[in-house]
């Protein structure tokens, strides 16, 4: 009798432990990635060293203002191959969320919205449906000017289309970075 109670107790505990475990990660779950508190933009051009610009907001949205927002400085009249990295920093440990966002590409899209500068951004990466993601892009710069670029990472679970406006879905990140074309 005691062995049956023991087996039942073990089975009950195993059932409780199994039901309290976290569900398996789903690459399409729109709430899987952590907060983004660091963004890195990397610009490459043939025959020139890479240019890297950062924005950091250690406490995330709200709270204190960002601790760093670099001015993007690019040559006018040039084409750059560009990539963006989304990073979560907790207790000094950086976790690159970019691959997770790309894996969830059918639910994400990055937009680059310039103000007072001539800038054409072409997204070069695609999700499984062939729709743009925007983690990788080319930037064609216009003449010398000063302005801003609004970087928006939009969530579009179940609503993403091939040519959405930057206001479709909800925002995971909105970051205005100064830009100077020289």
What percent of the chain clears pLDDT 90, i.e. is strictly above it? 73
Is the pTM higher than 0.85?
Answer: no
Q: What is the pLDDT of residue 30?
A: 45
Could you tell me the pLDDT band of residue 15, with boundaries at 50, 70 and 90?
Answer: very low
**Is 33 within 8 Å of 95 (Cβ atoms)?**
no
CB within 8 Å of 64: residues ≥ 6 apart: 57, 58
For residue 76, which phi and psi values (nearest 5 degrees)?
Answer: -75, 155
Write the pLDDT tens digit of every residue in 49-91.
999 999 998 877 677 888 999 999 999 999 999 999 999 998 8
- Only one residue has tokens 């990635």, namely 33
> Residue 181 and residue 143: Cα distance in Å, rounded?
7
Structural domains counted in the chain: 1
Spatial contact of 50 and 42, defined as CB atoms under 8 Å apart: yes
Q: Give the helix/strand (H/E) hosting 19.
A: helix 2-20
Q: How far, in whole angstroms, is CA 75 from its chain's centroid?
A: 25
Instruction: Quote the CA–CA distance of 43 and 54 in Å, as a whole number.
Output: 12
Residue partners of 158: CB distance under 8 A and separation at least 6? 107
Q: Which domain holds residue 78?
A: 2-181
């Amino acid at each position: 009798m005691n062995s049956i109670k023991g087996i039942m107790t073990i089975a009950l505990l195993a059932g409780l432990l199994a039901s309290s475990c976290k569900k398996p990660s789903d690459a399409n779950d729109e709430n899987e990635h952590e907060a983004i508190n660091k963004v890195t933009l990397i610009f490459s051009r043939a025959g020139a060293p890479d240019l890297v610009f950062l924005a950091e907001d250690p406490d995330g949205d709200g709270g204190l203002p960002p601790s760093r927002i670099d001015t993007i400085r690019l040559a006018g009249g040039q084409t750059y191959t560009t990539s963006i990295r989304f990073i979560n920093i907790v207790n000094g440990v950086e976790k690159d969320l970019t691959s997770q966002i790309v894996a969830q590409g059918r639910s994400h899209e990055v937009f680059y919205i310039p103000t007072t500068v001539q800038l054409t951004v072409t997204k070069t990466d695609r999700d499984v449906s062939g729709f743009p993601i925007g983690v990788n892009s080319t930037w064609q710069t216009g003449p010398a000017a000063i302005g801003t670029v609004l970087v928006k990472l939009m969530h579009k679970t179940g609503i993403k289309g091939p040519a959405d406006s930057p206001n479709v879905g909800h925002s995971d990140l909105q970051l205005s970075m100064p830009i100077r074309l020289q």
